[in-house]
Structure 1
Amino acid sequence: MTAADLPAVHALAALIHPAYPEDAAVFAERLRLYPPGCRVLERDGELAAYVVSHPWLHHAPPALNVLLGELPARPTTYYLHDLALMPEVRGSGASVQVVGALVEQARNEHLPSLSLIAVNGSAAFWQRQGFESVEDQTLTDKLRSYGGDARFMMRRL
């Protein structure tokens, strides 16, 4: 992902995740803070998918639509903030490839896990990728802001 991709990323986010709006500044900040975790997939010259991820703190996922300011000096997990795919890319294996690349990125950072908040009924997909739901009462309010089916999930490396 480059700065030139950000308008298309923001537009795809609004299309794929309309119930979870985020300001364009959120995507720009994540790219500035951790470029290796921000990637795009193009098909026929158009943005077809993106992922935003970065090192973070275990059991402390960032709130939706919030600027981070900076990454932690001593991260304890690799956080997958957002993965969005156009319908025509789903089922192509692209998301499995992305997850594999993020696992490698987390290993390169010497982090023991990946974590995310699964929304829109995606928990089954993430389970197939090795993630497990984690019950944590301290996250109840934060998860509620993502909808009734939101699940905090983790994959240990």
Structure 2
Amino acid sequence: MTATDLWRLMTPADLPAVQAAGEIVHPLYPESPAVAAERLMLYPAGCLVAERDGQLLGYAVSHPALLGRPPALDSLLGSLPERPDCLYLHDIALLPTARGLGLGAALVARLLGLAKVQGFPLLALTAVNNSAGYWQRQGFTPHQPDAVLAAKLASYGEDALYLVRAVD
């Protein structure tokens, strides 16, 4: 089984395990369980889990967004924008047991495919936990923040960096 095969669409039944994984991987960036539940309701195609032998290895929560306008940490969207111009990778967490399996690269490939099908020219994300180097190796580049984006990034901490990648 390849790393690509380990990713599948998230279901509401996955939400407790997703919350638990988020608390392990992102303890400094807590979000209410309502955040992932809302994203799953609004854009199920962008919510994925990786699992092997019935054990959660990680998850991804993404949704259509406006470039440079990510949601603040632990905030609900209410709705998706009418004219989104990117697919925003809101939350990605891989548990320590997932390291070395290639799940990150497989996820990026899957989300690039989703963005292409949906007509989004860009993927965007906010890198935290000193992960910017990893994302840059995956083809993402820094996006210069304006004052609005800088304020949003502040909710994620000093090392937060907004990155984008063109959809080929």
TM range, smaller chain: over 0.9
Match of 2:135, as an amino acid?
Answer: W
Question: Any idea what the Cα deviations from partners look like across 1:94-136, whole Å, max 9, x if unmatched?
Answer: 1100000000111011111010000001001100111001121
For residues 71-90 of structure 1, what are the structure 2 equivalents within 5 Å? 71-90=80-99
Deviation of residue 137 (structure 1)? 2.9
* Alignment correspondent of 2:162: 152
Question: Any idea what the Cα deviations from partners look like across 1:52-87, whole Å, max 9, x if unmatched?
Answer: 001111110111111101111211111000110011
Deviation of residue 150 (structure 1)? 0.6
- Write the distance in 2 (CA, Å) between the matches of 1:34 and 1:56: 11
- Write the distance in 2 (CA, Å) between the matches of 1:33 and 1:153: 23
Gaps of 5+ in 2: 1-9
- Write the distance in 2 (CA, Å) between the matches of 1:50 and 1:131: 19
The alignment partner of 2:144 has SS state of coil
Q: Larger relative CO (CA 8 A, sep 6+): 1 or 2?
A: 2
Deviation of residue 18 (structure 1)? 0.6
Of 4, 12, 16, 1:3 maps to 12
| Aligned length, in residue pairs | 157
- Write the distance in 1 (CA, Å) between the matches of 2:93 and 2:144: 25
Regions of 4+ moved over 4 Å: none
Gaps of 5+ in 1: none
1:129 aligns with 2:117: no
User: What is the aligned-residue identity percentage?
Assistant: 54
1:70 aligns with 2:60: no
Provide the aligned C-alpha RMSD in A. Answer: 0.9
* Alignment correspondent of 2:3: none
With the length of structure 1 as denominator, give the TM-score of the two structures: 0.97
With the length of structure 2 as denominator, give the TM-score of the two structures: 0.91
* Alignment correspondent of 1:106: 115
